[in-house]
Structure 1
Amino acid sequence: MLPGPPHRDDVLLGAGGLAVGLLLWSLGLYSGGPTDYRPLRAGWLVLVPLVAMSALALLRRSRPRFALAAGTLAVALDAWTRGNLATVVLFADLVYAAVVYGPPATARRLPFSMAMVAAALTLGYLAWYQDAVALLAGLVTALITFVPAISGAVVRNHREAAEAARLRAEQTALLAEMDRVQAVTAERARMARELHDVVAGHLSAIAIHSTAAQSLDDERTTREALGVIRENSVAGLAEMRRLIGLLRDGGGEGEQPAAAPTLAGLEALVRQAGANGAAGGLTVRLEHDPAPGPRLPAPVELAAYRIVQESLTNALKHAGPGQVVVSLAASERGLVVEVVSPRGERPGPRAPGSGAGLIGMRERVALLGGVFEAGPVEDPGSGAQAWRVRAELPVAEEDREPEA
């Protein structure tokens, strides 16, 4: 494949080297000196390796290995002529470029190879000249071979380290953005669950009793329905204020968000559910029998409360007449919550819903690493079909809170 257009700096380097070499040639300045014996003594012959080396400078980035190989031949030819300093300097740059821009294998091997070349030529000079001047010739050889290779290796290592640091920074930024998106998504899901659990139960009770108040022409029934509607409206507003307070991180000055629901509020929740379902023939019984011991962590108590709340809301909308049993019991892993309600025979719910209740309960249990089950079962007492929601919420010993 043909190389692309040369880099602007490479063009300037090649042109500058050629200009300096021509200036030295025109002034009669040769690296070999006037008395040095070299086979090709004609002055114009120094221009051949000079022009070749200047042209190879254009390939120092795109074809570094080819440029170095051809440059080695050119500098060897220059050694047979009277010599031009610009040719030697351009060759040193080709050694540097081969390490910086060449493949990784070339970058690793070239400094060692150039060290071997410099040592071999120094020994050759000693054998040829039989004089200490050979050491000076060896030093010059090292300056145009080994030193550029080492310099290129240092520059390449710095560039690779900078590139690795840049990639790590980009990966860190990408991971941070992914964490932010996941955190926002998780927070939105949590808010959706809280909002659903807070609003659904109260609005379902309001919808059912308002329908009853409209359909039954009985003053006593209407008054009872309005009482239930008012009670659920007040409770719903209180829950909404609590949720808004949480979203505002404490609200205004001197305001604190209301405490999250705990298992201590289950009795009130069951009483309210019983009042809401009385018109439809529903009764609610609480069997709260946890083993004595430390308090449960707040996330576990909140999840248990919300699971019972949503299960009672679903019973209010779907269950037939009968008794809803809410039971809580301690287990080896933590807490078991179970709500069993009679299955209704009607084709649809008493009040419209979003169908997100089971999804929200399942998500709450999954976040705590527990087990969730929901489906039809047979009532062991009557043998009738019932609907059971069961959640096992694990609690590690180190997460249990001491009793107040």
Structure 2
Amino acid sequence: MLPLTRPHRDDVLIAVVGLLGGAVLWLLGLHMQNGRLFAADWVSLLPLVVMSALELARRSAPQTALVLGTLALVADQFTSGNLATLLMYTDLMYAAVLYGSPAAARRIPVTTLLITVGVTIGFVAWFRDAQALLVGIATGLVSFLPALTGVSVRNHRNAAETARLRADQTALLAEMDRTQAVTAERARMARELHDMVANHLSAIAIHSTAALSLDDAATSRDALGVIRENSVAGLAEMRRLIGLLRTGAGDPEPSSSPTLASLDALIEQHRTNAASSGLSCTLLDERDGSGPLPAPVELAAYRIVQESLTNALKHAAPGAVTVRLGQDADRLTVEVRSVLGERPRPRAPGSGAGLVGMRERVALLGGVFEAGPGAGPDGSRVWRVRAELPVDERKVGP
């Protein structure tokens, strides 16, 4: 049965034009054949009307319309015939291949080819005349040629749809890559900003709290000196970062980034900032000096030490803060230990972003990161930060 769906407007136009065209041919007395079983001219209008109605279902039910259209075409052979009926049948054959199922699109051209060959051989054998080939040619023009055209158009549409889907997929992947790149760059900028400024701001926060809470002129003067020193240094770091963002946005690790050679100055600055908190800092460089390290590794190691010292300044109990560097053929080891316990002096608030940033830096390089409480050499409780970074550039992550 034909589905009761609203036909496409193009199908309605084809049906109306076919019906009116066939009616004009009938009125003009233009018939395709004579001497048929039903000689009355009006009988040829019945297949014409049926074929026009089937055109309304050429998209919604193409295979059903083709089967019924074939029956109508066979019935038309017993009448005086109408050219419009034949032309509309070729359109139903074309639509059955174009809008039908993939299996029908494969099966119909093969079937019509076999029918064309069979009709040609049969009529040649029956009439034993070369003119019987015209019957086979007519059969091919009515059935095989429209089916072949439908296959060509369908393949072209499928190729165009595949190309469109591929273009949409490529655009989607490009947008995902862009989003990931923006996210990664924002995360890198956040790590740089935190690591560059947090140390100075922590020192400012601690010493300003001490200056406000202790009614001692000498202590306040010393605190103000440390505050000024760290504010100037923090401002310089901010200006450097802004300069890098303006001029070196495409450089993943700027050439002006700090290296492990700058650790002595960082340790000295930490000693100054932490003197009033009872913290002492020691650098143990146990590397064998086997050669220069990749720039990303040096920057990550420096930032890990810097952030660990900042955390010690904010949270560690009075005592020793030890920074140890070790290196073998494959890895650079960075370890920072500080005393874990209560502190009598003011402490600065923490957000946990420092540990997240250190973990991200190590993960990007394909290293191993650990942070948490542990036991010191003398059995005391310490907070230990340990990172292992690959020194072979081929093993360094993106």
Q: TM-score, normalised by structure 1?
A: 0.92
Q: Report the alpha carbon displacement of residue 85 of structure 1 after superposing the two structures with TM.
A: 1.0
Change (3 A) 1:53 1:348: farther
Query: How many Å separate the matches in 1 of 2:355 and 2:312?
Result: 12
Q: Which amino acid aligns with 1:86?
A: A
Q: Report the alpha carbon displacement of residue 316 of structure 1 after superposing the two structures with TM.
A: 0.5
Whether 1:293 and 2:294 are equivalent positions in the alignment is: no
Question: Does the CA-based 8 Å contact 1:245-1:258 persist in structure 2?
Answer: no
List per-residue Cα deviations over 1:218-246 (Å, max 9, x = no partner): 33333322222122112111111111112
Question: Does the CA-based 8 Å contact 1:3-1:62 persist in structure 2?
Answer: no
- What does residue 284 of structure 1 align with? 281
- What does residue 383 of structure 1 align with? 379
Query: How many Å separate the matches in 2 of 1:273 and 1:126?
Result: 106
1:329-340 residue pairs with structure 2 within 5 A?
Answer: 329-340=326-337
346-355 or 75-84: which moved more? 346-355
Q: Report the alpha carbon displacement of residue 390 of structure 1 after superposing the two structures with TM.
A: 0.2
List per-residue Cα deviations over 1:251-295 (Å, max 9, x = no partner): 9xxxxx871111111110011011111111111111122232331
Whether 1:107 and 2:105 are equivalent positions in the alignment is: yes
Q: Report the alpha carbon displacement of residue 90 of structure 1 after superposing the two structures with TM.
A: 0.6
Structure 2: segments with no counterpart, 5+ residues: none
Query: How many Å separate the matches in 2 of 1:124 and 1:259?
Result: 90
Query: How many Å separate the matches in 2 of 1:250 and 1:190?
Result: 14
State the percentage of identical aligned residues. 64
**SS of the residue aligned with 1:4?**
coil
- What does residue 16 of structure 1 align with? 17
1:105-254 residue pairs with structure 2 within 5 A?
Answer: 105-250=103-248
Q: Give the paired residue count.
A: 391
Question: Does the CA-based 8 Å contact 2:322-2:336 persist in structure 1?
Answer: yes
Change (3 A) 1:216 1:194: same
Q: Report the alpha carbon displacement of residue 203 of structure 1 after superposing the two structures with TM.
A: 0.7
List per-residue Cα deviations over 1:161-189 (Å, max 9, x = no partner): 10011111111111111111111111111
- What does residue 4 of structure 1 align with? 5
Q: Which amino acid aligns with 2:31?
A: Y
Query: How many Å separate the matches in 2 of 1:349 and 1:365?
Result: 31
Whether 1:319 and 2:320 are equivalent positions in the alignment is: no
Q: Report the alpha carbon displacement of residue 396 of structure 1 after superposing the two structures with TM.
A: 2.5
Query: How many Å separate the matches in 2 of 1:301 and 1:349?
Result: 32
- What does residue 76 of structure 1 align with? 74
166-175 or 214-223: which moved more? 214-223
List per-residue Cα deviations over 1:28-78 (Å, max 9, x = no partner): 11112x4xx432222111111111101100000000000000000001111
Query: How many Å separate the matches in 2 of 1:227 and 1:162?
Result: 72
Q: Which amino acid aligns with 1:370?
A: G
Query: How many Å separate the matches in 1 of 2:391 and 2:108?
Result: 63
- What does residue 389 of structure 2 align with? 393
- What does residue 45 of structure 1 align with? 43
Q: Report the alpha carbon displacement of residue 397 of structure 1 after superposing the two structures with TM.
A: 4.7
Q: Which amino acid aligns with 1:130?
A: R
- What does residue 87 of structure 2 align with? 89
Query: How many Å separate the matches in 2 of 1:8 and 1:364?
Result: 62
- What does residue 306 of structure 1 align with? 303
RMSD: 1.9
Question: Does the CA-based 8 Å contact 1:242-1:258 persist in structure 2?
Answer: no
Query: How many Å separate the matches in 1 of 2:87 and 2:354?
Result: 79
Query: How many Å separate the matches in 1 of 2:361 and 2:28?
Result: 89
- What does residue 28 of structure 1 align with? 29
Query: How many Å separate the matches in 2 of 1:66 and 1:258?
Result: 73
Change (3 A) 1:30 1:310: same
- What does residue 350 of structure 2 align with? 353
Question: Does the CA-based 8 Å contact 1:318-1:348 persist in structure 2?
Answer: no
Change (3 A) 1:161 1:349: farther
Query: How many Å separate the matches in 2 of 1:42 and 1:129?
Result: 28
Whether 1:365 and 2:362 are equivalent positions in the alignment is: yes
**SS of the residue aligned with 2:77?**
helix
198-207 or 346-355: which moved more? 346-355
132-141 or 142-151: which moved more? 132-141
- What does residue 254 of structure 1 align with? none
Q: Report the alpha carbon displacement of residue 213 of structure 1 after superposing the two structures with TM.
A: 2.4
Query: How many Å separate the matches in 1 of 2:346 and 2:84?
Result: 94
Q: Report the alpha carbon displacement of residue 3 of structure 1 after superposing the two structures with TM.
A: 3.4
Question: Does the CA-based 8 Å contact 2:22-2:84 persist in structure 1?
Answer: yes
**SS of the residue aligned with 2:326?**
strand
Question: Does the CA-based 8 Å contact 2:337-2:382 persist in structure 1?
Answer: yes
Question: Does the CA-based 8 Å contact 2:317-2:339 persist in structure 1?
Answer: yes
List per-residue Cα deviations over 1:147-173 (Å, max 9, x = no partner): 000000000000001001111111111
57-66 or 18-27: which moved more? 18-27
Question: Does the CA-based 8 Å contact 1:242-1:259 persist in structure 2?
Answer: no
Query: How many Å separate the matches in 1 of 2:317 and 2:43?
Result: 110
Query: How many Å separate the matches in 2 of 1:230 and 1:343?
Result: 29
